[in-house]
Amino acid sequence: MRFLNWTGLVLLTALLAACGGSKDSASGGAASGGFGNTPKSAPSGNATAEEVAEEARGDVDCPADIGTPARAASAPVDDVVGVRPGMTYEEAANVVMCTGDLMVVTADNSRGFNMQTYGQTIRQGFNARPAKPRIEKTSKQIMQEMQDDMIARGGNAVRQDMQPGESKWYVGTMGLPGQERVINAAREEWFAEGRNPTMASVEQALLKKYGTPTRNQKSGGNIYLSWAYDPLSRPITETSPLFNQCSGNASPDGGVNLSPDCGIVVAAQVVPTTDNPDLARYMQVGVVNQAGGYEAITATEQALQQQDNERKAKQVEEAGKNADAPQL
């Protein structure tokens, strides 16, 4: 079983700020989260959220043009708002950006699988969330914010990562550089204030899309649903030895387990508002292809190793022709 290895917090200063360019550009994609070219210089100056999004997104065609074969009719539903395992990095980024005009994709290098890449850079995933206005601050303002944050932390103040009406994504990918494909995806949606759906309606919507869950739990007012399948795409029932082995993760901030013994796993969590347990505050839905992800990592490692072996063999061959002889 492979475990997602959080390699530490990395400041994501290189926010997506690219425009245009080829969707197939591996280097550009790696730098900008999958779309467009690397910006010549970091954008500066005040800008509205729309302007920031425009700088970052470039030309986005919606609906996204998907070349990956569609899911077989008999296969389990495995997409989160159109993003599903097996899609290319670029396709997934395109679909995600089409979910909102302000949605911005950012390559995430702060987490990923701990694997030998032989010096190559693999795009192991991206985050996406709505663009925020860019405001240039004075040193005095920055100091004041830092002080406010410190006081808030000292008082255990609750600071939500998301605001009502916003959504965010994490999409994990794996493959040789430029050929990465989705192995897992998760999305969190905070419902707009005053427009919160009922918990029951959200649950029903999930059941309508994904079918009868293999696990349905309610705890602390939250609803937890799971649709787990074995590698032969058979639902994992509670009598299966895999029932407690194949679990998913609904949160975009969570890790992911990959086992070749498990297939597609969709997980969902619905959380109620604090003042009315019948209304949904936010919802998380995640999907992972465990066996597919495991195989993708294994195949990528093997291919990278093969490339490295060939590089070394070539160097040795060239050294036999051109290298200097030692002076003895």
The nearer residue to another protein, 88 or 290, going by C-beta atoms, is 290
The nearer residue to another protein, 190 or 294, going by C-beta atoms, is 294
Minimum distance from residue 68 beta carbon to another protein (Å): 23
The nearer residue to another protein, 124 or 259, going by C-beta atoms, is 259
Minimum distance from residue 39 beta carbon to another protein (Å): 39
| Nearest residue to 128 via CA among 195, 53, 20 | 53
CB atoms within 10 A of CB 48: 14
Minimum distance from residue 302 beta carbon to another protein (Å): 6
Lateral strand order in the sheet of 103-107: 103-107, 125-130, 167-174, 181-190, 280-289, 264-272, 222-228, 215-219
The nearer residue to another protein, 147 or 237, going by C-beta atoms, is 237
Residues in contact with another protein by CB under 8 A are 1, 231-232, 234, 237, 239-242, 259-261, 291, 302, 305-306, 309-310, 312-313
Query: Which string of DSSP letters, residue by residue, matches 248-302?
Result: ----TTS--EE-TT--EEEEEEEEE-SS-TTBEEEEEEEEEEHHHHHHHHHHHHH
Minimum distance from residue 262 beta carbon to another protein (Å): 9
Q: CA 196, 201, 203, 206: dihedral to nearest 10 degrees? A: -100
Tell me the C-alpha to C-alpha distance, in Å, between residue 105 and each of 59, 65, 170, 172, 182: 13, 17, 9, 13, 14
Minimum distance from residue 259 beta carbon to another protein (Å): 6
The C-alpha atoms of residue 92 and residue 72 are separated, in whole angstroms, by 18
Structure tokens that stand for 224 in this block: 């937890």
Minimum distance from residue 247 beta carbon to another protein (Å): 15
Q: Could you report how far apart the first and last alpha carbons of the chain are, in Å?
A: 52
The nearer residue to another protein, 201 or 240, going by C-beta atoms, is 240
